[in-house]
Each structure stands twice: as C-alpha cells, then as structure tokens.
C-alpha cells in the first residue's frame, strides 16, 4: 500500500536567507553624512550619444534606483523607462545595462571581441588576484579557458564514457532517495553531492560518498560563497571597495571561506605532484601539473599554483552549483505541475522503458527535452552576465567607451515576450511546435553567449537530461501534505530554491 506523504511541522530555517546585517544601516548613515557634507560641484563629462539613464546622486550613484536584494528585477524596470541600452552608476562605478535578446545578442555575438573582457569585481578579484577562469582577464583568461575546454573534452565531455559515469552517479542518487521510503526530505545536499561528484571525478579522478564529512564541508563552503558573493553586502563592497574593506559584515567572511576551500585544493595537488606520471594523466589536476612542467620560463607564466588553485575552485563551484540548482527547481516545478510530470513519465516509458537513459534518447523525447529547456528558462538561475568593453563600440546607436562595465540581463532575454509567448509562466510549449516536435528558441541562452559563454555548457546539458530523466523514471515527486510551494528564490550569485522538503514516491 502506498504511503501517505506527510510532513513534520518545522520552523523556517535561517538558511533561507542571509541574516539581516545591521552594518547596512550604518553604511546608510555614513552615506547620508557624505551627502550633506561633501560638495559635489564638478559636472561629469558624458560622451556624446552615451546611453541614457537615471541621474546619479553624488557618491552613491543610482543605488537608490535599485532594489539591491533583487537587482535583476530592478534592471527590467529601468529598461521600461530608458530602453534596452541604458546607463547607471553603482557607487562611482559606471555601468551600461543591456536588456532583451536582440540587444544582448548584438553585443555578445555580433560584437563578441568588443564585449569579451571580464570586469574587475573587487570582492572576488581582491581574493583571487585575477587567477583561475571565472574572474580572470586578458591573456590569463584565454589560457585558462583553452586549457579547460581541451581537458574537459579529453575527459569525456560529450562522449559516451562520461555519459556512463553520469548514469552510474544517477543510480546512486536514486538508491539514496529510495532510502527515504516516500517520507519528506530535503534534497539540497544529496543533489549537490551527486552532481558535484561528476566534476570531482574530472578534477580529482574519484568520487565521494554522499555522507563523507569532507564532501559535506566542501558543499557547504560552495553554498556560502554563492550566497555571500551575490548578497547586498557584496554589491555594496563592489560599489565602495575602499570603504567596505574596513567595515565589518557578512562580506568579510568570504575570504576565509574561499581560503578554506583553496587549502583543500592545494593539499590535493601537492600530493598529486609527488605521484605525477606524465604518461598517465588521471585527471585535470594531473594535466595542469604536466603543463606546469612543460611551460618554458617567460614573463607571463600561466600554469602556476595560483591559477591551479583558483581554477579548481572555480570549476568545482560552477560545475556543481548551476546544474544541481536547476535540477532542484525542476523537481519543485514537477510537484507544482503534476500533469507535466505525468506526460514526461509517459514519454520515458514509451522511449526508454526501464533501460538506462542515454543522450541518443533525447531526439526521440521532444516533450521531455522541452520541459528541461523550460525549467532552465523559467528558473533563470544566472540572471545576468558581466562584461567589459575592450574598445570603443557603437551599440544600437549609442557610444560605449572602452573599459565600460557591461551588465547583460539574461532575465530579460529568457523572459523576452518577443520570443516567449508566456514569459512569466512555466510553459513547456515554448519549445514545441503545433505537432509536438521540439523547436529551439534562439533566445534560449541560459549559458550566456559569445567569447565568455559557459565552458561547461555541454557537460551541464548531459547532466540535466540524464539526471532529470532518471529521477522521473524512478519517482513521482509530490509536495508534503500541507506544504506550500515557494517559488521566491534565495538571492545569491545564482537564484536557488528556498529550503523545502519533497516526497519521492517510488514507481518501481
């Protein structure tokens, strides 16, 4: 007899949001003091045909025009008044915001070289020194990206070997979920662990048990980095770095948090360096260490320990966080839309049955493919991308100088009414034609576009399809009795579901 899915009443978890930081109040007072005591007589020189925007205030710029806890939504509101290309100032930092698919594509694709640089992000660049992949710039960025793409391909990205590894991990995830026997549980940590093990196998050459204390700690560190790095205090740090370095607050915990993860990485590659066999490169760290031995001395060394440490941290966090967060949104949406879940399960039964899901199945599963795409579109987990212009450029008739900080609103792209019939609703038909065939939308760019699009895009696509299909092949997901589904995200570098419990009813 099937168990009735029940839920124990629990108090709201403090993990759902970063605690209120009284330092914000103190900072507001300091800013007010600046405003009434500092003379601001010098008028800024604005280039001809520079994008329009709200008039900035002295010192604080346009911070009062933004909801700093939901900046991605503020960008949409400002676009309604100032158009798809407009300017703002956050503190003393000038920015140009791009909204809508046509505008973002013209910049990132048609003018790929001009919009190819990563801007300086003080809260992270102060810590990473510009090493690694995500926050690196110039030649270092190009060298790390080439190495990453090449190594990911060598270790199976897009190949059957990696596909089999994802299936093996998804089987372990299924067994873990079955152990809850239909009772409510929080899937956050085990989903992160399962997806994290895929990138760990590429980086380190092995996997962790889900209950391994070391893995649990690493996942907690990544969660904290994502939350703090996208918090209001981080935004204020980036706006006023010289001031915020001296003010206590949650942003001050970011450095020791990243340092702890980096310490783990250095410990791993130090051991691997002692055991290195250039003829048997077992993982990405081995490949990097071989490059390090081969690199000829020159003024611009790329394969040094600083780059290796930050690169592994970048790939672990990005490779785990985005995919696992998307899957968690997917399960939440299946609980809200049981009719969609049932249609996916029927297609799985028709095409796959009880066999292992493979990427080749996807072309015969248009509805499932459409649902996975719509989960990515609707969840909008990476609401904007940051770029910097490498030279003066004209965009949509506006002059944007070299070195301008660019914010590309992916939220405005994925919810562009010109390309999506019901942009604010979960609607899989966005990716289906009238006959039920899968159709691509050119405005579907959750991995960004252009020169700095996500290096792990192909890996993420493999993981999303196999994990999602395997989960719905084995379970029907339901909301615990009496629970209310909350689709307001936790704001961080990514937009993640709030703490919630699910019931996974076995279908076998």
Res 349: pLDDT: 97
Q: Which long-range contacts (CB under 8 A, 24 or more apart) does 35-41 make?
A: 35/59, 35/60
Res 9: pLDDT: 39
276-300 in b/e form (b: 16+ CB < 10 A) is beeeebebbbbbbbbbbeeeeeeee
Q: How confident is the model at residue 232 (pLDDT cuts 50, 70, 90)?
A: confident
- Extended strands (E) in 174-275: none
Residue-averaged pLDDT of the chain? 89
- The whole-angstrom separation of Cα 143 and Cα 131 is 11
Res 347: pLDDT: 98
Residue 56, φ and ψ in degrees, nearest 5: -80, 150
Statement: residue 40 has pLDDT above 50: no
Res 453: pLDDT: 87
- Between 13 and 29, the more confident residue is 29
- 8 A C-beta contact, residue 413 and residue 104: yes
Domains and CATH numbers, the chain: 19-506 (1.10.630.10)
- The whole-angstrom separation of Cα 149 and Cα 162 is 15
Statement: residue 297 has pLDDT above 90: no
- 8 A C-beta contact, residue 65 and residue 79: no
First to last CA, the chain: 13
Res 42: pLDDT: 45
Q: How confident is the model at residue 505 (pLDDT cuts 50, 70, 90)?
A: very high
Res 5: pLDDT: 47
How many Cα atoms sit within 13 Å of 187 on the Cβ side? 32
Res 189: pLDDT: 95
Helix then strand then coil, in percent of the chain rounded to 5, is 50, 10, 40
Statement: residue 2 has pLDDT above 50: no
Q: Which two tokens stand for residue 210?
A: 């889900």
Q: How confident is the model at residue 92 (pLDDT cuts 50, 70, 90)?
A: confident
DSSP 283: S
The kind and range of the H/E element at 506 are strand 503-506
Read off the pLDDT of residues 165-186 as tens digits, 9 standing for 90 and up: 999 999 999 999 999 999 999 9
Q: How confident is the model at residue 24 (pLDDT cuts 50, 70, 90)?
A: low
Statement: residue 150 has pLDDT above 50: yes
- Between 346 and 67, the more confident residue is 346
Statement: residue 3 has pLDDT above 80: no
Res 69: pLDDT: 84
Read off the pLDDT of residues 410-454 as tens digits, 9 standing for 90 and up: 999 999 999 999 999 999 999 999 999 999 999 999 999 988 888
Res 22: pLDDT: 54
Q: How confident is the model at residue 15 (pLDDT cuts 50, 70, 90)?
A: very low
Find where tokens 């050119």 sit: 442
pTM over 0.85: yes
Q: How confident is the model at residue 41 (pLDDT cuts 50, 70, 90)?
A: very low
**DSSP character string of 343-362:** HHHHHHHHHTTTSPP-GGGG
Q: How confident is the model at residue 467 (pLDDT cuts 50, 70, 90)?
A: very high
Query: Of the candidates 442, 447, 451, which has an alpha carbon nearest to the alpha carbon of residue 461?
Result: 447
Statement: residue 221 has pLDDT above 70: yes
- The whole-angstrom separation of Cα 311 and Cα 114 is 25
Q: Which of 265-279, 334-348, 379-393 has the lowest mean pLDDT?
A: 265-279
Statement: residue 462 has pLDDT above 70: yes
3-state SS record for 427-462: CHHHHECCCCCECCCCCCCCCCCCCCCCCCHHHHHH
Res 39: pLDDT: 39
- The whole-angstrom separation of Cα 73 and Cα 87 is 16
- The whole-angstrom separation of Cα 159 and Cα 358 is 11
| Cα distances (Å, whole numbers) of residue 433 to 255, 430, 437, 498 | 49, 8, 5, 33
The kind and range of the H/E element at 215 are helix 213-229
Q: How many residues does the chain have?
A: 508
Query: Of the candidates 368, 390, 346, which has an alpha carbon nearest to the alpha carbon of residue 437?
Result: 368
Res 17: pLDDT: 47
| Cα distances (Å, whole numbers) of residue 371 to 88, 169, 289, 438, 503 | 36, 22, 41, 10, 20
């Amino acid at each position: 007899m099937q168990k009735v899915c029940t839920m124990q009443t629990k108090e709201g978890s403090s993990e759902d949001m970063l605690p209120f930081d009284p330092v914000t109040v103190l900072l507001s007072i300091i800013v007010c003091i600046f405003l009434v005591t500092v003379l601001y007589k010098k008028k800024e020189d604005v280039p001809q045909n520079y994008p329009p925007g709200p008039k900035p205030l002295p010192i604080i710029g346009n911070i009062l025009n933004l909801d700093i806890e939901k900046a991605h939504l503020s960008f949409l509101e400002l676009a309604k008044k100032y158009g798809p290309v407009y300017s703002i100032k956050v503190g003393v930092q000038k920015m140009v915001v791009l909204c809508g698919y046509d505008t973002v594509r013209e910049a990132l694709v048609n003018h790929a070289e001009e919009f190819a640089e990563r801007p300086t992000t003080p809260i992270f660049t102060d810590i990473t020194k510009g090493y690694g992949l995500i926050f690196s710039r110039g030649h270092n960025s190009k060298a790390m990206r080439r190495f990453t793409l090449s190594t990911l391909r060598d270790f199976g990205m897009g190949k059957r070997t990696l596909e089999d590894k994802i299936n093996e991990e998804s089987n372990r995830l299924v067994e873990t979920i079955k152990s809850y026997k239909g009772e409510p549980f929080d899937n956050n940590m085990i989903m992160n662990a399962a997806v994290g093990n895929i990138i760990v196998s590429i980086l380190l050459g092995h996997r962790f048990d889900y209950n391994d204390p070391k893995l649990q700690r690493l996942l907690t560190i990544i969660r904290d980095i994502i939350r703090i790095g996208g918090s209001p205090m981080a935004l204020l740090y980036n706006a006023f770095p010289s001031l915020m370095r001296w003010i206590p607050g949650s942003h001050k915990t970011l450095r020791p948090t990243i340092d702890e993860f980096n310490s783990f990485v250095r410990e791993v590659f130090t051991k691997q360096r002692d055991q290195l066999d250039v003829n048997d490169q077992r993982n990405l760290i081995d490949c990097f260490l071989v490059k390090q031995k081969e690199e000829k001395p020159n003024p611009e060394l790329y394969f040094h320990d600083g780059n290796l440490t930050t690169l592994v941290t970048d790939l672990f966090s990005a490779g785990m966080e985005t995919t696992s967060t998307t899957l968690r949104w997917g399960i939440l949406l299946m609980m809200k839309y049981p009719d969609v879940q049932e249609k996916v399960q029927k297609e799985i039964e028709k095409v796959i049955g009880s066999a292992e899901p493979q990427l080749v199945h996807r072309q015969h599963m248009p509805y499932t493919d459409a649902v996975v795409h719509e989960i990515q579109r609707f969840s909008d987990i990476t609401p904007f991308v940051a770029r910097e212009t490498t030279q003066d450029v004209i965009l949509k008739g506006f002059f944007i100088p070299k070195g301008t900080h660019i914010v590309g609103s992916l939220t405005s792209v994925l919810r562009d009414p010109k390309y999506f019939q019901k942009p604010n609703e979960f609607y899989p038909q966005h990716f289906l034609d009238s006959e039920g065939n899968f159709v691509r939308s050119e405005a579907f760019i959750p991995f960004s576009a252009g020169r700095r699009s996500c290096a792990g895009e192909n890996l993420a696509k493999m993981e999303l399809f196999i994990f999602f299909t395997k989960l719905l092949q084995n379970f029907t997901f339901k909301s615990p009795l009496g629970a209310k589904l909350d689709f307001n995200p936790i704001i961080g570098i990514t937009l993640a579901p709030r703490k919630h419990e699910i019931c996974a009813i076995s279908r076998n």
